[in-house]
Amino acid sequence: MNMNSFQIYDISMKITQDMPVYGGNEEKRPKIIVERDFSSGSAYESKVEMNMHTGTHLDRSLHMVPGGAKVESLRLEQVITKCRVLDLSSCTDKITAEDLKDKNIVEGDFVLLKTRNSFEDILEDKFIYVDDSGAEFLRDRKIKGVGIDSLGIERNQPEHPTHIKLLGADIVILEGLRLKEIEEGKYFLFAAPVNVAEAEAAPVRAVLLR
């Protein structure tokens, strides 16, 4: 494979101590700590402390379902795959089944939902999300996975119906994507998570190839 023939797009959030986090909760902000530097030795070492749902990350069903699947059971072909970016920037509050019905979504698709989240400073506030009807639509289409440019695929929905309907159908969820510069169309997605044992979610360096 000649990588020079591909355009590579990084669609991940940068991890910083002042980055946007879900709900603006201060305890969710990552802490980057330098443990040793060249003033005290011959090496530089640091560590990061953060919630698994910080920034660009992947959810497994254990996140919402007792006894659900963990990151370590994910098959890499679920997240290293062809995908489609769908432009839903016209949505002003949420993504519903009505918004998705004309997007020609078919079985096996991995869809990335581009919304005004990528353009506006709303990630800690009233970001665009997928509602119950939208999740049901995607589940019934038997898609492989769905990604969105918000810090959560749903926003303060009692009982978490969006997560549960998607994760219960073994549909991969990617959250925290950055899609501002990405046009609607077909791409190849690389979104392998860090393989953390026993975890319900994990950080991802998500990349698109075209």
pLDDT digits (tens, 9 = 90+) for 87-127: 999 999 999 999 999 999 999 999 999 999 999 999 999 99
pLDDT at 94: 97
Q: Which of 1-5, 58-62, 89-93, 195-199 has the lowest mean pLDDT?
A: 1-5
* Interval 148-162 mean pLDDT: 94
Amino acid (one-letter) located at 163: H
Question: What is the separation of C-alpha 86 from the centre of its chain, rounded to a whole number of angstroms?
Answer: 15
pLDDT at 40: 82
pLDDT > 70: percent of the chain: 98
pLDDT > 90: percent of the chain: 94
pLDDT at 2: 61
Judged against a pLDDT cut of 70, whether residue 3 lies above it is answered with no
Judged against a pLDDT cut of 80, whether residue 4 lies above it is answered with no
pLDDT at 41: 87
Confidence of residue 164 (pLDDT cuts 50, 70, 90): very high
Domain boundaries, the chain: 3-209
3-209 topology per CATH: Glucose Oxidase; domain 1 (3.50.30)
pLDDT at 156: 85
pLDDT at 26: 92
* Interval 127-136 mean pLDDT: 97
E strand map for the chain: 8-10, 31-36, 45-49, 57-59, 80-87, 94-95, 110-114, 129-130, 145-148, 172-175, 185-190, 201-203, 207-209
Judged against a pLDDT cut of 60, whether residue 1 lies above it is answered with no
* Interval 16-41 mean pLDDT: 93
pLDDT at 129: 98
Within 8 A by CB and 6+ apart from 75, the residues are none
b/e string for 107-121 if b means 16 or more Cβ within 10 A?
Answer: eebbbbbbbbbbeee
